[in-house]
């Protein structure tokens, strides 16, 4: 067993691809993603303004919009046509058009129609802009209502009571501060992690294509080949469990919530690693080509971020993405992570979800049997 382990470790250090994928690429991806989205909140989104009224009321509205922490007015335009190029080139992400007669409509108690144009291809940014401007307009409406009511009633409390409308109390149970980096990092990094697991497992087994002195030796017994694969499984599992511990520590240092049972999260990580190890071995055992196996594995696991239900509700997806998410071990991993880290769900309930990933270990058993019987 120790001789086999020493042989595998030597092979890893001789293989530049494995060294890169095991020790350099995960660190590079983690640092790159973090530095790209390190800001906790989206702020100062550049927008443009067209003021067709040029009145004191329109200038007050412009001041209120620019005072928002989410958006920042960087330019005023004379026409929509002039602003279109800047929207398409993403110099600005939205355009607010204040109509002519804006002040007159307010004085006549007519609701003015302020138009907002934004690039609908940028859905996430568009939603943030919409929410920020809606809040500005709502506050402006309360201010105008108060001005009218104080003039009628001459009583501050009565005027304030008439001006403030019903506002729903929205309580966030997950990501209470709408932390942008928490939303993306806790999804992107595990999805990258699972991709590295399956690719490295395939590369580790495919190493035998060039190591004819060991696995291709016809004198090897059945137990030797299984022992050989067991060592590969162990190496891949240990390395990526260490990476998982590093990832979890980073989340801890960033003060992301950790309200559940950490031992359940450890079990969740180990079963997920073994599941992807099994799938990787199964793919390679069937195809026996390093390049083609990696291509299929990437095709299988790379879309995971889209199918997790984090960036888009799973129950709103069609049959195909729903099916695809069900055959990805990372799906159950993320469910358990959110339940434990964010909600502190009963560990027994989360353990049931983890058990659903154990079915993927059957692919490892089947892959080992095919690997043994199929000629190299």
* 132 pLDDT higher than 50: yes
* 204 pLDDT higher than 70: yes
- Tell me 53's DSSP state: S
Q: What is the pLDDT of residues 261-320, one digit of tens each?
A: 999 999 999 999 999 999 999 999 999 888 999 999 999 998 888 777 666 666 667 787
Q: pLDDT value at position 8?
A: 83
Per-residue pLDDT, averaged over 6-26, amounts to 88
Q: pLDDT value at position 274?
A: 97
Q: Which of 1-5, 11-15, 200-204 has the lowest mean pLDDT?
A: 1-5
Considering only residues 141 and 221, tell me which one the structure prediction assigns the higher pLDDT.
Answer: 141
- Tell me 111's DSSP state: P
Q: pLDDT value at position 220?
A: 47
Report whether 308 contacts 325 (CB < 8 A).
yes
Per-residue pLDDT, averaged over 62-73, amounts to 87
Residue with tokens 């049931």: 352
Per-residue pLDDT, averaged over 184-212, amounts to 87
Q: What is the pLDDT of residues 290-304, one digit of tens each?
A: 899 999 999 999 888
Q: Dihedrals φ, ψ of 75, to 5°?
A: -160, 145
Token pair for 234: 């162990």
Q: pLDDT value at position 135?
A: 81
Q: How far apart are CA 283 and CA 295, in angstroms?
A: 10
Residue 168 neighbours by CB distance under 10 Å = 5
Considering only residues 113 and 210, tell me which one the structure prediction assigns the higher pLDDT.
Answer: 113
Token pair for 35: 């530095």
Displacement of CA 350 from its chain's centroid (Å): 21
Question: Which domains, and CATH codes, for the chain?
Answer: 2-38+179-373 (no CATH), 45-163 (3.40.1710.10)
Per cent of the chain over pLDDT 90 is 36
Mean pLDDT of the chain: 82
Q: How far apart are CA 40 and CA 183, in angstroms?
A: 9
Q: How far apart are CA 94 and CA 77, in angstroms?
A: 12
């Amino acid at each position: 067993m120790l001789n086999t382990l020493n042989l595998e470790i030597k092979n890893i250090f001789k293989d530049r691809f494995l060294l890169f994928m095991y020790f350099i690429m995960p660190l590079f991806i983690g640092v790159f993603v973090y530095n790209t989205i390190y800001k906790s909140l989206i702020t100062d989104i550049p927008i443009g303004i067209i003021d067709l009224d040029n009145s004191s009321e329109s200038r007050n509205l412009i001041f209120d919009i620019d005072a928002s922490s989410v958006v920042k007015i960087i330019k005023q335009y004379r026409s929509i046509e002039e602003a279109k190029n800047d929207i398409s080139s993403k110099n600005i992400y939205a355009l607010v058009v204040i109509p002519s007669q804006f002040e007159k409509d307010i004085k006549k108690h007519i609701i003015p129609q302020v138009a907002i144009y934004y690039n609908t291809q940028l859905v996430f940014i568009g939603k943030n802009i919409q929410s920020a401007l809606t809040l500005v307009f709502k506050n402006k409406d309360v201010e105008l209502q108060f001005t009218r009511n104080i003039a009628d009633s001459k009583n501050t409390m009565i005027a304030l009571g008439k001006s403030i409308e019903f506002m729903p109390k929205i309580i966030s149970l997950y990501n209470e501060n709408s932390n942008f980096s928490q939303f993306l990092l806790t999804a992107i990094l595990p999805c990258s992690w699972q991709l590295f697991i399956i690719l490295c497992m395939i590369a580790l087994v495919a190493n035998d294509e060039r190591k004819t002195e060991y696995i291709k030796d016809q004198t090897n017994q059945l137990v030797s080949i299984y022992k050989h694969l067991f060592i590969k499984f162990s190496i891949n599992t240990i390395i990526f469990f260490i990476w998982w511990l590093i990832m979890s520590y980073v989340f801890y240092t960033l003060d992301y919530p950790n309200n559940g049972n950490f031992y359940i999260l450890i079990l969740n990580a180990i079963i997920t690693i073994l599941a992807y190890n099994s799938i990787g071995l199964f793919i390679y055992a069937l195809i026996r080509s390093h390049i083609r196996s990696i291509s299929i594995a990437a095709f299988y696991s790379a879309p995971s971020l889209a199918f997790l239900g984090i960036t888009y509700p799973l129950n709103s997806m069609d049959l195909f993405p729903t099916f695809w998410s069900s055959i990805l071990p990372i799906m159950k991993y993320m469910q358990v992570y959110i339940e434990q880290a964010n909600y502190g769900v009963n560990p027994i309930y989360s353990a049931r979800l983890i058990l659903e990933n154990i079915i993927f270990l059957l692919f490892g058993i089947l892959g080992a049997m095919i690997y043994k019987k199929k000629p190299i």
